[in-house]
A = this chain, B = another copy of it.
């Protein structure tokens, strides 16, 4: 089984493939060179990597297996997520939902926003923010009750991480929480189910090779998704 990917992302944030170039500290134009025949090429130092990225991107495009969907505000995100998941619900247990977007916990609803720019003459500003609606409960219960749902839990305090992840699994009833700490999240996560904890780490060698932790998370999730589909009744993992 292969996956087609619907990638929801905030406008101008990192996107698959192009992310290697848009948020680099090097300017992307430093990779390009003007050739003697007047055409533009890629500097030979950077060409092999760009070629590999471009080939993968073009394959996804050709096969039409990558759909990029954009949002701007957290409200846009929630409505888009509901629409997309409701459409995807026909895929039943064959769809995996990988909820990696770092959605804010608090927001200011449109109707409470100032019509005009807030004047700063008066000194400081007190902002009253509402809690962002907890969408995992309706998503698991109503939007895609048959889907394989993976959420993320990011904390800064290691003492809270596992307990809060388990609490989320109990409260929302989905399949997996990927628990991570702000400072170590790019090299270490814990894949948490109701009954197990499975650490995923990059080795020192992998870090030195710029390997990304997602390259170890995704195969593990695919394996578990397949096992979960195979097990009739989708018993708790």
Nearest CB on B from A18, distance (A): 5
Instruction: List residues of chain B with CB within 8 A of the CB of A129.
Output: 124-127
Instruction: List residues of chain B with CB within 8 A of the CB of A55.
Output: 34
Q: Please determine whether B154 and A117 come into contact, CB atoms closer than 8 angstroms.
A: yes
Q: Please determine whether A118 and B105 come into contact, CB atoms closer than 8 angstroms.
A: yes
Instruction: List residues of chain B with CB within 8 A of the CB of A50.
Output: 32, 40
Whether A15 touches B27, Cβ cut-off 8 Å, given contacts A41-B40, A118-B105, is: yes
Whether A124 touches B128, Cβ cut-off 8 Å, given contacts A17-B29, A40-B41, A55-B34, is: yes
CA distance A131 to B29 in the complex (A): 38
| A216 lies within 8 A of chain B by Cβ | no
Q: Please determine whether B126 and A131 come into contact, CB atoms closer than 8 angstroms.
A: no
Near B by CB (< 8 A), chain A positions 43-95 give: 47, 50-51, 53-55, 57-58, 68, 70
| A135 lies within 8 A of chain B by Cβ | no
The size class of the interface chain A forms with chain B is 35 or more
Q: Which chain B residue shows the least CB distance to A14?
A: B12
| A188 lies within 8 A of chain B by Cβ | no
CA distance A182 to B27 in the complex (A): 29
Interface of A with B (CB < 8 Å)?
Answer: 11-12, 15, 17-18, 21-23, 25, 27-29, 32, 34, 38-42, 47, 50-51, 53-55, 57-58, 68, 70, 105-106, 115-118, 120, 123-132, 154-157, 182
21 A-B pairs whose Cβ atoms sit less than 8 Å apart in the complex = A15-B27, A18-B27, A18-B29, A21-B22, A21-B28, A27-B57, A29-B58, A32-B42, A34-B54, A34-B58, A39-B42, A39-B47, A40-B42, A40-B54, A105-B118, A106-B120, A116-B155, A116-B157, A117-B155, A125-B129, A126-B128
